[in-house]
Amino acid sequence: MKMSVLGLALIAPLSMAGQHIIYKVDGQDYEGYWSKINNTAPMVLLVHDWDGLTEYEERRSEMLNQMGYNVFAVDLFGQNVRPTKIEDKKQHTGELYKNREKLRTLMQGGLDKAGMLGGNLDNMVVMGYCFGGAAVLESARAGMNARGFVTFHGGLQTPKGQDYSQTIAPILVLHGTADSAIPMSQFAQLASELEENKVPHQMVTYSGAPHAFTVFGSKNYREDADQKSWLAFSEFLVATTGK
C-alpha cells in the first residue's frame, strides 16, 4: 500500500532540501527556513509554535514541498532564540501577544523576505501551529494579501479593539475539542465574528484531540486528528491556490 506524505514524515529523516536564511526586521536578525521546489509553485508562509522555528517546521515544510509548494518558515523570536523551558516560551510569546504591532511587523517582514527569495506572493497561503496560528489570525485581521489563512490548534481569541473587517481571504480553523488551552468558547466566538464580518471560513473540530495534537512524538499527538486535519488543509490549499 502506498504510504501518505504524512505517514512518510513520521519515519523518514529530513532530506534537508531547504536552507536557513538570515534576514532583518527592524534591525534585528531572524533566521527563517526556505525550501523551494521551482520558481512558479504556489507558496506557503509557515509560522512556528512557541518553541520557535525547529526541525518540526522544517519537516512540515518538506511535506509541503512534496505536495508541490514552496515554503518559507518565518522566525518570530530572533536568530538563535529557540526556547526549551516553559517560562522562556511564555516570555517570548507573551511579549508578542502584548505588542501586536510588532507581531504584525514580524509577519510582514517574513513575507517580504519570502518575496525577495522568489516566493510567489500572488498565490500564497499563510498557516501556523499553536502560537503560530494566533499569528496567522493576526495577519488575517491586519489585511495581509493572501489566498487563505490556516490555523492548527492555534490561539483564537480576538484582542480588544480588533476585528476581521479587513480580512480579504478565507480562513480554515482546525481545532481539538479536548484542547484545554484554547476552549471551545473561543472557537464559537470566532465563528460568530467571522460570520458577522462575512469572512468565508471553515471550522473543524476533532474529538479527543488536545492542544498541539499535530506535534509528532509528543504526548499530545493524535494520529487520527493529525491525518484528518492535514487532509482538510491539503484540500483548502488546492481550493485556494489551484494547485
187 touches 173 (CB < 8 A): yes
55-79 mean pLDDT: 97
158-179 mean pLDDT: 98
pLDDT over 90 (residue 9): no
Q: What are the beta bridge partners of residue 129?
A: 152
26-38 mean pLDDT: 96
In terms of Cβ atoms closer than 10 Å to its own Cβ (0-12, 13-18, 19+), residue 222 is buried
CA 90 vs. chain centroid, Å, equals 18
Measured CA to CA, the distance from residue 44 to residue 61 in angstroms comes to: 9
8-35 mean pLDDT: 81
- Quote the pLDDT of residue 148: 98
pLDDT over 70 (residue 11): no
Q: Which residue has the higher pLDDT, 123 or 39?
A: 123
Who contacts 183 (Cβ-Cβ below 8 Å, separation ≥6)?
none
pTM assigned to the model? 0.93
- Quote the pLDDT of residue 43: 98
Q: Which cell goes with 194?
A: 467571522
pLDDT in tens, 183-224: 999 999 999 999 999 999 999 999 999 999 999 999 999 999
Domain boundaries, the chain: 15-241
pLDDT over 60 (residue 52): yes
Chain mean pLDDT for the chain: 94
Domain 15-241 CATH class label: alpha beta
Instruction: Give the range among 5-19, 30-44, 123-137, 189-203 with minimum mean pLDDT.
Output: 5-19
- Quote the pLDDT of residue 3: 38
CA angle 173, 177, 181 (to 5 degrees): 85
Q: What are the beta bridge partners of residue 148?
A: 125
